[in-house]
Structure 1
Amino acid sequence: MTQMALVIDLNVCVGCHACVTSCKEWNTSGEAGSLTDARPYDDDPSGTFFNRVQTYEAGVFPMTDTIHFPKSCLHCEDPPCVPVCPTGASYKRKSDGIVLVDYDKCIGCKYCAWACPYGARELDEGRKEMTKCTLCADRIDNPALPERDRKPACVLACPTSARIFGDIHDPESDVSRAIRERGGYQLMPEWDTKPSNHYLPRVKTESSCGCGKSGGCGSGASAGAKDESFEARFERGEVDLAALAVHR
């Protein structure tokens, strides 16, 4: 059985939100639209998005890191949102495994949102219907588009190619090779939903100051200095603050 999905490389995602804006533009003008922005600029902004990028700061200075984490519907192979829908509006397409919503049947009861452990469902306040990522089903099946454009809008828009699209059940596909060769993982597998979307883990680099360079940017730092505190190395003059500031 075919299972289309996204593989997201956290090493190269720069948090530019190109995927967010392209997703919003395509789906607002496509089969899912129009997506409501009730209060786009107020103190309490509200809007419907199929894809969001969450940004976190990790670590303790100077070994800090910024992590950009895109998240949308994971198109689970055993989606809990489907059986709880009282009208059958939520369903999993047999041809490619994409989880979709039939808007003509949706009554906006939010049962699917309560069942989804990933928070991937949103209620469109204007239409009173539950919405979510469709993997741009109306793009990938559109014969009017050139073959190279039959991909989700977010994949085409990503400037760093952090998003890969394909069939994870095909061992020779780009997504399957990326998962296999780079240790791709599922989000919260303990829920047994078998999410199809995978993430490629960030590769940690060893350094003494957070600059990412082997051995750090400190002048004359010894091989074991990276295990010492920043304060101790600073007092000995082993930290190049100028280089650290430029890097950050």
Structure 2
Amino acid sequence: MTQMALVIDLNVCVGCHACVTSCKEWNTSGEAGSLSDLRPYDADPSGTFFNRVQTFEAGEFPLADTIHFPKSCLHCEDPPCVPVCPTGASYKRKEDGLVLVDFDRCIGCKYCSWACPYGARELDEARKEMTKCTLCADRIHNETLPERDRKPACVLACPTSARLFGDIHDPESVVSKAIRERGGYQLMPEWGTRPANHYLPRQKTTACGSGACSCGSTTEGAADVVPAAEFEHGLVDLASMATRI
């Protein structure tokens, strides 16, 4: 079965939020819109976003670094949000493996949000419906678009090509090759949800403090700036905090 997914390269994400804004623009004007923004300039803003970028400070001087960590629905192969939905609004599409929401059936009960261990579901306060990343399902199969544009809006907007898109069940796809060759990993695999989205781990830090430095110097025995396990620790709390922004 086809399983479309994102692979995000944590080495080159610069935290510019182009993925966030392009996602918001496309989905507000697409099948999933409109996505509400309540009190955007007040002290207590609230809005609906399918994609968010969380930023971490990691390490100690002189090996300190800033890590930008994009996160959205992971389109799990065994999504816990689907069986708990009392109306069948949440479902996994067979032809491409995407986890989607039928807004005509959604009653905003939040069961899917409670079941998701990654905090990837959000309640649109204006519509009283649960929303999430669709991987631009209304775009990737749109034959009226040039083939090069049949990708999620976030992938097309990324200025550093940190986001890859493809079928992880196809061993020759760009995402499968990246996972295989660069040690791509899933978030919290112990939950048994089999997340489709993967992350490419950070490179080892060099003596001058940058994993991408071209000076050729290295620090003997230096560890990854932020190991996968450290990202996963406390991720649920961070995710739930993000949904309240």
Q: Which residue does 1:23 correspond to in 2? A: 23
Q: Which residue does 1:61 correspond to in 2? A: 61
Output one character per residue of 1:169-199: Cα deviation in whole Å (capped at 9) or x when no partner.
Answer: 0000000000000000001101010000000
- Normalised by the size of structure 1, how large is the TM-score? 0.85
Q: Which residue does 1:51 correspond to in 2? A: 51
Which AA in structure 1 matches 2:135? L
Residue 146 of structure 2 corresponds to residue 146 of structure 1: yes
Counterpart mapping for 1:1-248 below 5 A: 1-207=1-207, 209-210=208-209, 212=213, 213-215=215-217
Which AA in structure 1 matches 2:100? L
Q: Which residue does 1:236 correspond to in 2? A: none
CA contact (8 A) 1:53 1:68 kept: yes
Which AA in structure 2 matches 1:133? C
Which AA in structure 1 matches 2:132? K
Which AA in structure 2 matches 1:4? M
Secondary structure in 2 aligned to 1:165? strand
CA contact (8 A) 1:205 1:214 kept: no
Q: CA deviation at 1:215?
A: 4.3
Q: CA deviation at 1:100?
A: 0.0
Secondary structure in 1 aligned to 2:109? coil
Which AA in structure 2 matches 1:190? E
Q: Which residue does 1:233 correspond to in 2? A: none
Q: CA deviation at 1:210?
A: 2.4
Which AA in structure 1 matches 2:45? P
Secondary structure in 1 aligned to 2:176? helix
Whole-angstrom CA distance in 2 between matches of 1:162 and 1:126: 32
- Normalised by the size of structure 2, how large is the TM-score? 0.86
| Matched residues, number | 218
Give % identity. 84
Structure 2 unaligned runs (5+)? 223-245
CA contact (8 A) 2:123 2:131 kept: yes
Which AA in structure 1 matches 2:209? G
- Which of 167-176 and 58-67 deviates more? 58-67
Structure showing greater Rg:
1
CA contact (8 A) 1:28 1:34 kept: yes
Secondary structure in 2 aligned to 1:210? coil
Q: CA deviation at 1:43?
A: 1.1
Whole-angstrom CA distance in 2 between matches of 1:43 and 1:59: 32
Secondary structure in 1 aligned to 2:209? coil
Which AA in structure 1 matches 2:174? D
Whole-angstrom CA distance in 1 between matches of 2:202 and 2:129: 36
Which AA in structure 2 matches 1:123? L
Q: CA deviation at 1:141?
A: 1.3
